[in-house]
Structure 1
Amino acid sequence: MDETPAGDISRFLKRLQWALVALAAGWLVWLLGPILTPFVVAALLGWLGDPLVDRLERAGRSRNTAVILVFTLMALLLALALLILVPTLQRQVITLVESLPHYRDWFVGTAVPWLEQRTRLQLSTWLDPEYMIEQLRVHWERAGGIATTALGYLSRSGFAVFAMIANVVLIPVLTFFFLRDWDVFVERAASLVPRDHLAIASQLAKESSEMLGGFLRGQFTVMLILGAMYGIGLWAIGLDLGLLIGIVAGLLTFVPYLGPTSGVVFGVIAALVQHGDWKHVAGVLAVFGVGQVIESYWLTPKLVGDRIGLHPVAVIFAVLAGGQLFGFLGMLLALPVAAVANVLLRYAHARYTHSRLYAGQAPAIVIPDQRVSEGGIIMPGNDGDAEEGEGEGRA
């Protein structure tokens, strides 16, 4: 390794070039975020389905046949989920809309007085319709600006709907091509890696793929099971919106602690509004308590484990940061990027602990040989004795 100042400058410039390339790539993703979403979704689906395609290939089927079988299976599962979930969610949303007056009356007549009594804040003033109309009249200019913005958004919503429909049509088409040519994409990406770093890059890519693939498959299964458990449990204790709350809580399980927390809050409010007794509140707490025990001691260890290797705080930060920087696309890319970054950080940590920067420049300390005497006292060894013993052994 070149330790001269010129070598240091060369290494710094090389690292600066890679940093600029990374910044340019991030800026490009930020610019193209709205049109990259279907490609990212299709790439994730193709990546998740590629192991099954490879397994069918090893069983003797051609690549095209294996891709058609896997793609058909994925389409059937999606259609089955839509046939089950869409009517259920539609009925639950209708029930929610019909129940909104009851929730409003409970909030104004029960929740607000309870909060006012304990916080000594006049919250009911802000909820008075006449007061709200007066505030709207006073701030009419600001409200007019908001209305103008809203109308402008609605005028552009036709393009948004068209873009959404285009994305829905594109995703299955792109998924099929990603499934068919996934190995080709991997080989082309590998061909761009410098030959000196190919072994390390392949190993890191394999670790990232195995870690993230196992995590996503396991986590998706946990979400489905918990959503069904929560929904059926809340419906069984008599909540009209139990299925909707359970499904939402199951989907939010992807973000640690957010799913059960939101489910408990919504479930308790629904129990108080619909029944108004603590028996149903206790039922809600029991449903989520049992669900958390099953998730913690069986579902997560069995299906997910610690495959991604990230702390829950890091997962939450990654999802929120991705959404803040790149919107919905960033939320999709948050966990894959975090998993790859975790693998790279572990590799960097291993390199750092074996580097001169970590070990330092001081000479190694040699600990003299120590021997235990017959009385159990540790005695310093004699190098001469050791050399004589070695000479006798060689003789």
Structure 2
Amino acid sequence: MTMRDVLKGWVERYFSDEEAVVLLVVLVLGFAAVIWLGKMLAPFFTALVIAFLLQGVVAWLERVGLPRLLSVLLVFLVFVGTLLALALIVMPLVWNQTVDLIQQIPSMLASVQLWLDELQARYPTLITPDQMQDWIATAGREITLLGQRALTLSLASLGNLLGLIIYLVLVPILVFFLLKDRETLTRFTLSLLPTKRTLMTRVWNEMDDQIANYVRGKVIEIFIVGIAAYVTFWFFGLQYSALLGLAVGLSVLVPYIGAAVATVPVAAVAGFQFGIGEEFAYVLVAYGVLQALDGNVLVPILFSEAVNLHPVSIILAVLFFGGIWGFWGVFFAIPLATLLKALVQAWPRSVAKRDQEAVPPGAGLQK
């Protein structure tokens, strides 16, 4: 049997069903739309994600007994209020601390140079003056490039200010209508699909609860970890506590790697402010306790219904989808990996079931 015959048999086995072909086409078109039209349709995709997050709260209010329209209005008002609080309170605070941090970088570099001088004087055979000067020059070049990138980003942001305003206005409007007309939009989408969609229904049922649990749980985890980190750093009097709290909160987007990466700025700021002493140790111990509580208490509670994926699969998904779609790729890396896992599990089962139904009763008993 040639390779051509093997491929032909595989295609006939897995794509002879019309529903399988339709599912493949839907997936390819969906990924293509996100890849090539992602920037153009970014407000819609953002609103779709937010509406997906808020739908669970709307459904809970409906179960309590509130009418759907009133539930949608209450949830939407809370969402708009949260958005305004972030825009008017949190973001200015983070921006001011970022500007302050950039202004303090020269003094930080001076402190590093003094520390290296002391280290070189104490261990002259370990670190030579030439090596120390090379390290300082490299750090200075990196800081200069970072400042240039920040200036370029700021100037580009000024040019896109009108687009940002339109984005902030358009997304809440889309969120409201996606929540209000959810059933109508769902019926319209289903009308575009074939009436026979057993495979698609099986795949959706296997991943719907897990993805909903993951996305909502991840947003809650970001808020809880970020606020807890900010309060912890503020309690110890650590500078740039809001900026560091935001960084620690967003670090949970990338499992395993994010916590390690977020440790670097926390340790650096604490080291520059307190020196290598007791207060520095207290900050790191408190940060370690926070990460331990997140990994061993908060994550099991929030993601108790999530699909169990191997750590290697999670890291590969983060690298792959993050490289394609940036922030949103990192955010949806685990849900997309869950989708692929559901496809791998449901598709062969559907083919096997179809083959069993095609075998006449008692055929396996004939000799």
Q: 1:69 aligns to what?
A: 74
Question: RMSD in angstroms over aligned alpha carbons?
Answer: 4.1
Query: Residues 217 and 352 of structure 1: is their aligned pair in 2 closer, same or farther, counting only changes over 3 Å?
Result: same
> Alignment partner of 1:41: what SS?
helix
Give ranges in structure 1 of 5+ residues lacking alignment. 133-142, 357-363, 365-395
The answer to whether the Cα contact below 8 Å between 1:248 and 1:259 also exists between their aligned partners in 2 is: no
Q: With structure 1 as the length reference, what TM-score do the two structures score?
A: 0.70
> Alignment partner of 1:240: what SS?
coil
2:54 is matched with which residue: 49, 57, 61? 49
CA–CA distance in structure 1, aligned partners of residues 209 and 150 of structure 2:
45
The answer to whether the Cα contact below 8 Å between 1:318 and 1:334 also exists between their aligned partners in 2 is: yes
Query: Residues 117 and 256 of structure 1: is their aligned pair in 2 closer, same or farther, counting only changes over 3 Å?
Result: farther
1:32 is matched with which residue: 32, 37, 49? 37
The answer to whether the Cα contact below 8 Å between 2:209 and 2:305 also exists between their aligned partners in 1 is: no
Measured after TM superposition, the shift of residue 326 of structure 1 is: 3.2
Q: 1:92 aligns to what?
A: 97
Structure 1 or 2, whichever has the larger Rg, is: 1
Give ranges in structure 2 of 5+ residues lacking alignment. 1-7, 356-363
CA–CA distance in structure 2, aligned partners of residues 101 and 150 of structure 1:
16
CA–CA distance in structure 2, aligned partners of residues 154 and 47 of structure 1:
32
Report which stretch shifted further, 160-169 or 220-229: 160-169
Measured after TM superposition, the shift of residue 30 of structure 1 is: 2.1
The answer to whether the Cα contact below 8 Å between 1:211 and 1:308 also exists between their aligned partners in 2 is: yes
Query: Residues 106 and 348 of structure 1: is their aligned pair in 2 closer, same or farther, counting only changes over 3 Å?
Result: farther
Measured after TM superposition, the shift of residue 36 of structure 1 is: 1.7
Measured after TM superposition, the shift of residue 122 of structure 1 is: 2.5
CA–CA distance in structure 2, aligned partners of residues 112 and 220 of structure 1:
45
The one-letter amino acid paired with 2:310 is: H
> Alignment partner of 2:255: what SS?
coil
CA–CA distance in structure 2, aligned partners of residues 7 and 239 of structure 1:
61
Q: How many residues align?
A: 339
> Alignment partner of 2:217: what SS?
helix
CA–CA distance in structure 2, aligned partners of residues 283 and 49 of structure 1:
38
CA–CA distance in structure 1, aligned partners of residues 160 and 315 of structure 2:
28
CA–CA distance in structure 1, aligned partners of residues 194 and 280 of structure 2:
61
Measured after TM superposition, the shift of residue 153 of structure 1 is: 9.0
The one-letter amino acid paired with 1:195 is: T
CA–CA distance in structure 2, aligned partners of residues 153 and 293 of structure 1:
35
Identity over aligned residues, as a percent? 26
Measured after TM superposition, the shift of residue 171 of structure 1 is: 0.7
Measured after TM superposition, the shift of residue 294 of structure 1 is: 1.4
The one-letter amino acid paired with 2:241 is: G
Query: Residues 113 and 313 of structure 1: is their aligned pair in 2 closer, same or farther, counting only changes over 3 Å?
Result: farther
Measured after TM superposition, the shift of residue 249 of structure 1 is: 0.9
Q: With structure 2 as the length reference, what TM-score do the two structures score?
A: 0.75
After TM superposition, the structure 1 = structure 2 runs for residues 1-395 of structure 1, keeping only pairs within 5 Å, are 9=12, 22-23=27-28, 25-110=30-115, 122=131, 124-125=133-134, 127-128=136-137, 160-198=160-198, 200-305=199-304, 307-331=306-330, 333-348=332-347, 350=349
The one-letter amino acid paired with 2:169 is: V
